[in-house]
Amino acid sequence: MLTNIRIVLVCTTHPGNIGAVARAMKTMGLTRLTLVAPEKYPSVEATARASGADDVLAQAQIVGSLDEALAGCHLVLGASARQRTIAWPQVDARACAALAVNASATEEVAVVFGREQSGLTNDELERCHYLVHIPANPDFSSLNIAAAVQVITYEIMMANLQVQPVADSGDEELVPWATADEMEQFYEHLWQTVIDIGFVDPAKPRLLARRLRRLFNRARLDKNEFNMLRGILAAAQAGSVKR
């Protein structure tokens, strides 16, 4: 089940940290590591700090963008050391693990970690369904990235030990969630539509794009809802051309 959970590191600067993350993951039974544009990798320092978790490093997927890292993901959780100015659903490490483990029974899950210096950008956080904050000293809340991965993966291990199979919810067919890449297509389509129908002036978008993302992230679309809304958008666009 935990093979459905991937740990994503965005633009890591120090290769030693990548190795330490691999070690933290392996101790907690996780093996899927994705590296988005690491600054220096592969590196002997990474291998040294992995101390025996080199198999996790060897299988790590290296990609150029966060979108590629999230391809096929149904649930995305973004770890952040700071309380952000953007209002976004937020959970602590334990609640994050419960969400991740429950979802991983049938879905692909990503937990995303930011740069050592600057964390995740607001744009990157907007790709996440939830922000994860490890409660810490408010005056000194930034853990080393491998320490942050250790805390969250430990909670995942604990949640997995306690997991009870979810009772079958009757004969209602379960529709899979839309994936992160489908949601990006949806947001692009939605944005183009609000422009086409004259709801927004693209020169003055203000906070609309973020608000729309927050709304649909909170709702979490399944595939049927995704298809339905794409259909509505296409019809609205066609209508605005006819008028």
> 23 or 230, CB closer to ligand SAH?
23
Q: How far is the CB of 169 from ligand SAH (least distance, A)?
A: 33
> Per-residue b/e over 159-180, b at no fewer than 16 CB within 10 Å?
bbeeeeeeeeeeeeeeeebbbb
Q: How far is the CB of 141 from ligand SAH (least distance, A)?
A: 5
Interaction of residue 5 with ligand SAH, rule CB under 6 A = no
Interaction of residue 120 with ligand SAH, rule CB under 6 A = yes
Query: Tokens 């991937």 appear where?
Result: 6
* CA-wise closest residue to 101 among 166, 10, 188, 178: 166
Query: 3-class SS at 168?
Result: coil
Interaction of residue 113 with ligand SAH, rule CB under 6 A = yes
- DSSP of 14-52, one letter per residue? -HHHHHHHHHHHHHTT--EEEEES-SS-S-HHHHHHHTT
* 51-90 footprint of ligand SAH as x/- string (CB under 6 A): ----------------------------xxxx--------
What's the 3-state SS for 73-128? Answer: CCEEEEECCCCCCCCCCEECHHHHHHHHHHHHCCCCEEEEECECCCECCHHHHCCC
**Which one of the spans 38-46, 110-118, 188-196, 211-219 is the region binding ligand SAH (CB under 6 A)?**
110-118
- Out of 119, 178, 190, 230, the only residue in the binding site for ligand SAH (CB under 6 A) is 119
Interaction of residue 141 with ligand SAH, rule CB under 6 A = yes
CA 141 to chain centre: 21
**Which one of the spans 55-63, 132-140, 165-173, 200-208 is the region binding ligand SAH (CB under 6 A)?**
132-140
Q: Which residues pair with 112 in a beta bridge?
A: 8, 78
* CA-wise closest residue to 191 among 140, 148, 146, 233: 233
Give the Cβ contact number of residue 16 at 10 Å. Answer: 19
Interaction of residue 21 with ligand SAH, rule CB under 6 A = no
- Out of 2, 25, 77, 132, the only residue in the binding site for ligand SAH (CB under 6 A) is 132
Interaction of residue 7 with ligand SAH, rule CB under 6 A = no
Q: Using CB positions, name the residue nearest to ligand SAH.
A: 119
Total number of residues binding ligand SAH (CB under 6 A)?
20
Give the N- to C-terminal CA distance of the chain in Å, as an integer: 51
> 79 or 233, CB closer to ligand SAH?
79
Q: How far is the CB of 82 from ligand SAH (least distance, A)?
A: 5
Q: How far is the CB of 119 from ligand SAH (least distance, A)?
A: 2
Please say whether the beta carbons of 22 and 57 come within 8 A. Answer: yes
**Site for ligand SAH, rule CB under 6 A:** 79-82, 113-114, 116-120, 132-134, 136, 141-143, 145, 148
